C-alpha cells in the first residue's frame, strides 16, 4: 500500500513526472503523487485537491491552468490535454457507487470507474462538474456551473444542468 501525501507537503520527486515551471499555490493538497504526471508551464491554484489513486493515472498537459478550489478525483483516471483552462471550483469525478439492494447503504455498494478526458485547448467554466467516463472534445467550452453527464463534441459550447449544446464554435 502506498502512503498518500495529502497533508500538503510534497516534493517534485514524489510525482510520476513533473515538468518545468509548474506552480502550486498555497493550500494545494496532493494524494498519491506517484500516479500524477504534470507537463511544463502548468499552474495549480490555491486550495486545489489532486486526489490521485493507487491505480490509474492523472495527467495534466503542458500549459494548462487550474483555478483555485478545484477537486480532481482520479480513481478511474484523468487525462487533461495541453493548454486547457479550468476555472475555479471545478470538480472532476471518475467513480460512482452503484445502486444496490435497499437494505444496503449506497456507499457500501461496488464502485464503477470511468476515465475523464479533456482534450487540448478546451475551457471548463467555474464550478462545473464533470462526471465519470466523460470525454470533452478538443477546443470545447463548458459553461460555468454546468454538470457534464454526456460526452462533449470538439469545438462546441455547452452549458446547463445537465449540459446541453448551445452552439458550435466558429472559425475567426
Domains of the chain, first to last: 19-168 (2.160.10.10)
Q: What is the pLDDT of residue 4?
A: 42
Are the C-beta atoms of 92 and 72 separated by less than 8 Å? yes
Q: What is the pLDDT of residue 103?
A: 85
**Average pLDDT over the chain, rounded to whole?**
92
5 pLDDT higher than 50: no
> Rounded distance, CA 106 to CA 99, Å?
6
pLDDT for 106-139, tens place per residue?
Answer: 888 888 999 999 999 999 999 999 999 999 999 9
13 pLDDT higher than 70: yes
- Phi/psi for 144 (5° steps) reads -60, 135
Task: Write out the catalytic residue numbers.
Answer: 97
Indicate the DSSP class of residue 2: P
> Rounded distance, CA 57 to CA 84, Å?
18
State the pairing for strand pair 78-80/71-73.
Answer: unpaired
> Rounded distance, CA 138 to CA 135, Å?
9
171 pLDDT higher than 80: no
Query: How many other CB atoms are there within 10 angstroms of residue 5's CB atom?
Result: 20
Q: What is the pLDDT of residue 7?
A: 53
Amino acid at each position: 500500500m502506498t502512503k498518500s501525501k495529502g497533508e500538503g507537503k510534497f516534493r517534485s520527486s514524489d510525482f510520476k513526472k513533473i515538468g518545468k515551471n509548474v506552480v502550486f499555490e498555497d493550500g494545494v493538497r496532493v494524494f498519491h503523487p506517484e500516479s500524477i504526471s504534470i507537463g511544463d508551464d502548468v499552474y495549480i491554484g490555491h486550495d486545489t485537491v489532486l486526489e490521485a489513486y493507487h491505480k490509474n493515472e492523472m495527467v495534466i498537459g503542458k500549459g494548462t491552468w487550474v483555478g483555485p478550489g478545484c477537486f480532481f478525483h482520479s480513481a478511474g483516471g484523468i487525462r487533461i490535454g495541453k493548454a486547457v483552462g479550468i476555472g475555479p471550483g471545478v470538480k472532476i469525478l471518475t467513480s460512482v457507487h452503484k445502486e444496490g439492494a435497499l437494505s444496503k447503504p449506497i456507499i457500501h455498494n461496488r464502485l464503477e470507474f470511468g476515465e475523464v478526458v479533456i482534450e487540448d485547448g478546451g475551457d471548463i467554466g467555474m464550478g462545473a462538474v464533470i462526471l465519470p467516463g466523460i470525454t470533452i472534445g478538443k477546443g470545447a467550452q463548458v459553461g460555468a456551473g454546468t454538470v457534464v453527464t454526456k460526452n462533449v463534441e470538439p469545438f462546441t459550447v455547452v452549458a446547463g444542468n445537465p449540459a446541453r449544446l448551445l452552439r458550435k464554435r466558429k472559425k475567426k
